[in-house]
Structure 1
Amino acid sequence: MPDRAPTPVDRALPTDEARHLMTLVRDIARREIAPAAAEEEAAGRFPRALFTLLSQAGLLGLPYASAHGGGDQPYEVYLQVLEELASARLTVGLGVSVHTLAAYPLAAYGTEEQRAVHLPAMLGGGLLGAYCLSEPSSGSDAASLRTRAVRDGDTWVIGGTKAWITHGGIADFYTVMARTGGEGPRGITAFLVPGDAEGLTAAPPERKMGLKGSPTAQIHLDGVRIPDTRRLGEEGQGFAIALAALDSGRLGIAACAVGLARAALDEAVAYALRRRQFGRPIADFQGLRFLLADMATRIESGRALYLAAARLRDAGRPFVRQAAMAKLHCTDAAMQVAVDAVQVLGGYGYTADFPVERYLREAKVLQIVEGTNQIQRMVIARHLLGPETR
């Protein structure tokens, strides 16, 4: 691949510490992640050793407090780390994003004692998390979930099935939303469930069109008993906690989408420079040059959008609408860039010999996870028109 000028990611980093961090991340991505990505995805292997390495490097707790093992990094920096990881392999970038999502309810709503007991192992002790909100009959309509937790003295007994759980069956802890009261959002409570809890089992992983190295599975909770000390927040607060987690998680998906799109563009540019037709590189043809220019513009605008939302979050200002916009725009952009990358490579792009067909398969799921892009449009419209509208 030809040398290129530093990307805007370099110029957007706010401190020397952040720039040193990004140098470390790029080195890990180049040396440890990218070389085996295609082979491991084709084989459906989850890179657990890589996540252990990322934990040891302090990359699994970047946006959380150092007092509990985190990295004290703003979201503006954390998201650019995700982008870099996802550009090397989406399974890794998305996995870090999901882990961060799973740790959020404890970090934001747990008691100081709960954080002191559990967060250090989550953020720097090699543990891997999963986030359990969706169910077989409640995806976008998450407030209708049926998994139930019943109090029994100082413990809770949880029963039900969660669906579409990233890291399902391999996670060390699950942040589970369960119904403890009546119907609707006010009857839901959040719990921290150990991955080895008695009665917790995982179904065989889903057979997916992409992200085959990242296991997605149903989780069955059959009389799982946990102490009340593992309840996060107040009873009935779980749905609000879940939505707050997703607001930040959507920025993670946006950053991962930009990373994937970057990888697709890089492959398309490299191919266009070396592929010759009619006696010259196809990069000389205006039609293809315009296509590459549009791809690059989608990527740059996506990065600007997710960084703007991140800066609002870091400043303590409302960012829900901007997070929905970032998730919507960046994932749609990733899908279009991946389609265009296949087009640049022509017939070769349609084969598994080149990575762009994998990028296309992987891009699709980003338009679905953590709120479909139709849900993002609903969120944006509600902020424009008022909550009383539908």
Structure 2
Amino acid sequence: MRFGFTEEQEMIREMAVRFVEREVARNAGSLDEEEKFNRPLFDRMAELGFTGLPWPESDGGSGGGFLSFIMTLEEIARVSASIGVVLWAHVYLSMWPIYRFGHEELKQLYIRKMIEGQLLGAGVLPQLMGERRSTLHKGVIAKVEGNRYVLEGLEKYVVGADNADVNVIYAEMFSDNSRKPKRYSAFLVEKGTPGLHILPVRRKLGLRSTGMAHLKFEHCLIGKEQRIGDEGQGEEIARQTSSSVRYGLAAIAAGIARGAADLALAYAKVRTQFGKPIGKHQSIAFSLADMDTAADASILLAYQSAWREDQGLEDSNRSMMALSYASDAAVNSAISAVQIFGAYGYTKDFPVERFLRDAKTIQLIKGLDKARR
């Protein structure tokens, strides 16, 4: 088996590294502290072509594929998971269902603008549940009214919704017959639509600069042209979206694990105790080795899932394994980094405490727990 990256992919990675070092690193801590989203950073990512990596050139993308895209996510998350998650939500939670299931007019209207960064997308995260349970839950109800839909209800903790121009949501179709099976549909709702209220979520544990918000719908009227796919197809759209969502989020977690491992190693080389760098002490060396191994294993699982999508091979089990392993690895590596930094790791003067908070948030997103294993 030939395993390696193309010259183009390596160039994309180098571009992402330069972007992170020059434009993300200097503000990552302050944006987290102030819970601010930096729209110019997103605009810059679009300018560099990151938002267009997975999509074909015929649709305005660069045709780099999903593997190239998650390589970029990984590099961004090594410094700022929040910025990485904004890009992840834009591509996977918003663009992916529109591109895969939207009718041609909807794609023509939104996809190119989202690739170019004119529009920032966000979306509801389908619950990452086992196969025996629905991937959706009752939050928003959609009722047909003439040639429009009326949306009512509340969707909580939508990543990026506070700043997004468009949101992809899933709603249960209203029915007078309680015995009929529940049906769901997917919709694209623009910011500023009458009846849509965006309620920012503040004082969060982690991913503080992603612009998370609740979406409240009160007699929100949207046209049928805003529906993604067929009426009642929301369950299938959510299921297929979830597979890509998982490995994309796994790449974010792997980036956190790698960032924590790199910072811990650098600190262990300069911090001395008992006359030698602490990295020379066996217990610290073992921790560093475990962190390095976990980071590599995490991203390799994500790479495999992304590669399979590029080959047209859907594999929800592998993407679930990638997220399950990578999210645990990120938390464990961040904890180890805090321990290696000692008292410094406890302060906001060093980013390892932020890595720990972000890693734990990813682990908690939509029920990532032992029951799902």
Global fold match (TM > 0.5) = yes
Question: Of 155, 171, 182, which aligns to 1:178?
Answer: 171
1:64 aligns with 2:52: no
1:76 aligns with 2:75: no
1:173 to partner: Cα distance = 0.2
**Larger relative contact order, structure 1 or 2 (CA cutoff 8 Å, min sep 6):** 2
Corresponding residue to 1:95 among 73, 78, 86: 86
Shift of 1:24: 1.5
- Quote the Cα distance in structure 2 between the aligned partners of 1:361 and 1:141: 29
- 5+ residue gaps, structure 1, are 1-10, 378-390
Q: TM-score, normalised by structure 2?
A: 0.92
Amino acid at match of 2:18: D
CA contact (8 A) 2:54 2:64 kept: yes
Displacement after TM superposition at 1:80 (Å): 0.9
- Matched residues in 1 for 2:155 and 2:337: separation? 35
> Residue 203 of structure 1 aligns to which amino acid in structure 2?
L
Distance 1:99 1:207 in 2: 23
SS of the residue corresponding to residue 252 of structure 1 reads helix
Per the alignment, in what secondary structure is the counterpart of residue 234 of structure 1?
coil
In the TM superposition, 1:294-305 aligns within 5 A as 294-305=290-301
1:311-330 to 2 correspondence within 5 Å?
Answer: 311-330=307-326
**Correspondent of 1:258 among 241, 247, 254:** 254
* Partners of 1:191 and 1:232 within 8 A in 2: yes
1:193-342 correspondence to structure 2 within 5 Å: 193-342=189-338
Residues 171-205 of structure 1: CA deviation (Å, up to 9, x unaligned): 10010101124579751000111112111111232
Does the CA-based 8 Å contact 2:66-2:310 persist in structure 1? Answer: yes
The AA in structure 1 aligned to 2:140 is T
**Residues 85 and 259 of structure 1 are in contact (CA less than 8 Å); yes or no, is this contact kept in structure 2?**
yes
Look up the SS of the partner of 2:222 in the other structure. strand
Deviation at 1:252, TM superposition (A): 0.8
Per-residue CA deviations over 1:127-177 (Å, capped at 9, x if unaligned) read 111112579xxxx96533141111222211111111011112211001010
Letter in 1 for 2:97: P
1:38, 1:94 → 2: CA distance?
Answer: 15
Aligned equivalents of 2:370, 2:232: Cα separation in 1: 27
Aligned partners of 1:12, 1:36: CA distance in 2, in Å?
35
Conserved 8 A contact 2:42-2:117:
no
1:241 counterpart SS class: helix
Query: Aligned to 1:368, which of 364, 368, 371?
Result: 364
Report if aligned partners of 1:133, 1:142 keep a CA contact under 8 Å in 2.
Answer: no
CA 1:134–1:223: 2 relative to 1, 3 Å:
farther
Partner of 1:21: 12
Q: Contact 2:126–2:242 at 8 Å: present in 1 too? A: no
- Report the alpha carbon displacement of residue 228 of structure 1 after superposing the two structures with TM: 0.9
Compared CA separation, residues 282 and 73, structure 1 to 2 (3 A): same
Aligned partner of 2:37 in structure 1 is 46
The one-letter amino acid paired with 1:152 is: E
Aligned-partner Cα distance in 2 for 1:154–1:335:
48
How many residues align structurally?
363
How does the TM-score come out when normalised to structure 1? 0.88
| Residues 1:125 and 1:37: Cα distance change in structure 2 (over 3 Å) | closer
AA matched with 2:324: L
Measure how far apart 1:59 and its partner are: 1.0
CA distance in 1, matches of 2:347, 2:113: 42
Q: Cα RMSD between the aligned structures?
A: 2.0
Structure 2: state its 5+ residue gaps. Answer: 128-132
* Counterpart AA for 2:327: T
CA offset digits 1:25-83 (Å, max 9, x no partner)? 11111100011111221121111110011112221132122222222122221111110
Determine the C-alpha separation between the residues in 2 that align with 1:45 and 1:251: 26
User: Separation in 2 of the partners of 1:204 and 1:125?
Assistant: 22
The answer to whether the aligner puts 1:143 opposite 2:136 as a matched pair is yes
Cα distance in 2 between the residues matched to 1:71 and 1:133: 26
Query: For 1:144, what is the secondary structure of its paired residue?
Result: coil
**SS at structure 2 position matched to 1:242:** helix
